[in-house]
Amino acid sequence: MAALIETKKLVKAYKSGDGVSTILKGIDFSVERGEFVSIMGRSGAGKSTLMYQMSLLDEPTSGDISIDGTNTRHMSEKEKAAFRLRKFGFVFQDYALMPELTATENIVLPLLMESYTFTQAQAMAADALTRVGLGHRLHNVPSQLSGGEQQRVSIARAIAEQPEILFADEPTANLDRESAKVVIDLFLELHAHGQTIIMVTHEEEYGHVADRIIRLDEGSIVSIEKGVRHAHARKQPTKKQSKK
Ligand SMILES: Nc1ncnc2c1ncn2[C@@H]1O[C@H](COP(=O)(O)OP(=O)(O)OP(=O)(O)O)[C@@H](O)[C@H]1O
Ligand SMILES: [Mg+2]
């Protein structure tokens, strides 16, 4: 079966002055359905750039991105936008909520711009907010919510349509430790229910909860590691081995 998302020889370069700076230098990588992958590396390594290419928010200079076996290279902007809406959910560091709208309205509005009725959108918003533990904050505007709660509203918005892939770029960067942990635990819970997640982070502690960690440096993959939960699971002897 095809990987859910696969990049082949992905290159992203920008013109800079009279030269060209190559930000992604040929990334070959794939993510399987149901996987939780974190993209790590120091500032400027190309993490966000890679996420933007994988999620079709930006166009690579060369190379291919296939989603569910479909090569996206020849898709029109319109087709890509439709793909993003239908298949992807996005979470960003700054929450990107509309300040004058309640938690519910922040989720309902984008759904109305698609083909959902008001009643459907309301139900989907309430359901998503309940899933992130904010069933009691449906009618608060962002200024009446903590940073962690605002991020959870943005996660609810991202999962309201049950996207195939949840992309998150530094979702914990603006949060204190306690709120960051709530967000990471929420991702783990979504993941346990089958959600595919691709998360960019520079925080080791949070990156390591993923199934796999891809580490970037200067636009190249320098390592692909198993996350700490899996590393621990492997270290424990199985019953069969311990009897020996
Ligand atoms: N539109 C652009 N034009 C020119 N250069 C860019 C553009 N976008 C990003 N870059 C450069 O690409 C490099 C990688 O940027 P990117 O945002 O992917 O890094 P990052 O790993 O996400 O870093 P951070 O941890 O700071 O968010 C940086 O050197 C950045 O200056
Ligand atoms: Mg970044």
Does ligand 1 lie within 6 Å of residue 53's CB atom? Answer: no
241 has pLDDT over 60? no
Which residue's CA is the closest to the ligand 1 atom numbered 30?
44
- Is residue 219 lining ligand 1, measured as CB closer than 6 Å? no
pLDDT in tens, 155-182: 999 999 999 999 999 999 999 999 999 9
**pLDDT for the residue 39:** 98
What pLDDT, on a 0 to 100 scale, did the predictor assign at position 219? 97
**Inside any domain, residue 141:** yes
Task: Tell me: pLDDT of 242 over 50.
Answer: no
pTM exceeding 0.85: yes
- The closest residue, in CA terms, to atom 10 on ligand 1 is 23
In a domain, 123, yes or no: yes
Domain count, the chain: 1
A 10 A CB-CB count for 234 gives 10
Query: What is the spatial distance between Cα 151 and Cα 91, in angstroms, rounded to a whole number?
Result: 8
- pLDDT for position 239: 53
**What is the per-residue pLDDT across 37-73, written as a single tens digit (0 to 9) for each?**
999 999 999 999 999 999 999 999 999 999 999 999 9
- In a domain, residue 219? The reply is yes
- Report the mean per-residue pLDDT for the chain: 93
46 lines ligand 1 (CB under 6 A): yes
Q: Output the pLDDT for position 144.
A: 97
Buried b / exposed e over 117-141, threshold 16 CB at 10 Å, is: eeeebbebbbebbebbebeebbebb
Is residue 244, in this structure, part of any structural domain at all?
no
**pLDDT score for 12:** 98
Instruction: Considering every ligand atom shown, identify the ligand nearest to the alpha carbon of residue 215 and give its number.
Output: 1
Q: Please name the residues in contact with 33: beta carbons below 8 A apart, sequence gap of 6 or more.
A: 3, 4, 164, 196
CATH number, domain of 187, equals: 3.40.50.300
Tens-digit pLDDT profile for residues 101-119: 999 999 999 999 988 999 9
Domain of residue 180: give its range.
5-237
Q: Rounded to the nearest 5°, which phi and psi values hold at 205?
A: -55, -40
Q: Confirm if 151 and 184 have CB atoms less than 8 A apart.
A: no
Does 9 map to a domain? yes
What number is the average pLDDT over the span 214-234?
87
Is position 242 within any domain? no
Closest of 152, 224, 220, 161 to residue 189, by C-alpha: 152
Other beta carbons within 10 angstroms of residue 112's beta carbon come to: 14
Strands (E), the chain: 5-16, 19-31, 36-40, 62-67, 70-71, 88-92, 165-169, 196-200, 212-217, 220-226
Q: Is residue 135 situated within a structural domain? A: yes
**d(C-alpha 151, C-alpha 173), whole Å:** 11
Residue 151: pLDDT band with limits 50, 70, 90 = very high
In a domain, 14, yes or no: yes
